Amino acid sequence: MQGYSRLQLIFEGNILEVILNRPEKRNAIDRLMAEELMDVLRYGQQNNDVRVMVLRGRGQTFCAGADLNYMNSQDHTGEKRPAAILARLFHSLYHFPKPLLVIAHGKSMGGALGLIAAADFVLAPEEATFAFSEVKLGLVPATISPYVIKRTGEKNARQLMLLGDSFSAAEAIKAGLVDKTGDPGELEAYKSYLCSHFESNAPQAMMNCKKTIQYIANVKLDDHAIAYTLKVLDDTRKSPEAREGMQAFFEKRKAGWQK
């Protein structure tokens, strides 16, 4: 967790804050940033002290998307080519098992919308702007499309991606891409509000909840889905965490994971 050149990490309490730290390039994602982000995601998943991850950017821009010099490089092929690396990054973000909060200030363009769409909660200042700029360059936002469509729905994705124009935080709210806007102070207060809840919730239950949501969102609602949900409930009810939570409730005390 030391020696990153594209990221800055702040770990306080149970909150791991990850800051994109390439402001001179508007935090554009190159191979090194993508690999460092995936390394942090692995660390956050494996470290029980991490309850929530916050992703934000340094400088004037949250993220300008993929670094075009990197994307146009021909140094690697197959699974090591730039598009494949970024596709794995967005997949890793979407499947990160703990609450993931993104604060998107300034401009967010292209691949930055993949970082945003993969998050559980997205906050943005009122003056923030967004753009699916790929079609302006003769490109297609292909690798981010699964996560954007899940978050915004097909209709909004069509209109935003095909137009390719810049849109406001208020428009991003309407499209479902952003969850809350406000001034920086309001957003920091809301971030603290969210994180305090994440820190007081049962950690394994949150991970199981997120996994269940992602699974059920992608399967047919049939007897198999019912069986899956029953198994999840049966397994969690037997867990030490659930037993502790229920006992704490009846004894009117804090559960063991709460401060």
Label each residue of 152-208 as H, E or C.
HCHHHHHHHHHHCCCEEHHHHHHHCCCCEEECHHHHHHHHHHHHHHHHHCCHHHHHH
Q: What is the mean pLDDT of residues 158-171?
A: 97
Whether 96 contacts 44, CB under 8 Å:
yes
pLDDT at 52 over 70: yes
Q: What is the C-alpha separation between 92 and 190, in angstroms, rounded? A: 25
Q: List the one residue out of 101, 95, 118, 41 whose CA is nearest residue 212.
A: 95
pLDDT at 76 over 80: no
Q: What is the C-alpha separation between 84 and 189, in angstroms, rounded? A: 37
pLDDT at 3 over 90: no
pLDDT at 31 over 90: yes
**Prediction pTM value:** 0.94
Q: What is the residue extent of each domain of the chain?
A: 7-197, 202-250
Of the pLDDT bands very low, low, confident and very high (cuts 50, 70, 90), residue 72 is confident
Class of domain 7-197: alpha beta
Q: What is the C-alpha separation between 88 and 94, in angstroms, rounded? A: 10
The pLDDT score that the predictor gives to residue 2 is 65
Q: List the one residue out of 23, 31, 87 whose CA is nearest residue 56.
A: 23
How do residues 224-258 score in pLDDT, each as one tens digit? Answer: 999 999 999 999 999 999 999 999 999 999 999 99
Looking at 25-39, 65-79, 154-168, which range is the least confident one?
Answer: 65-79
DSSP 137-155: GT---TTTHHHHHHHH-HH
The pLDDT score that the predictor gives to residue 80 is 85
Of the pLDDT bands very low, low, confident and very high (cuts 50, 70, 90), residue 162 is very high
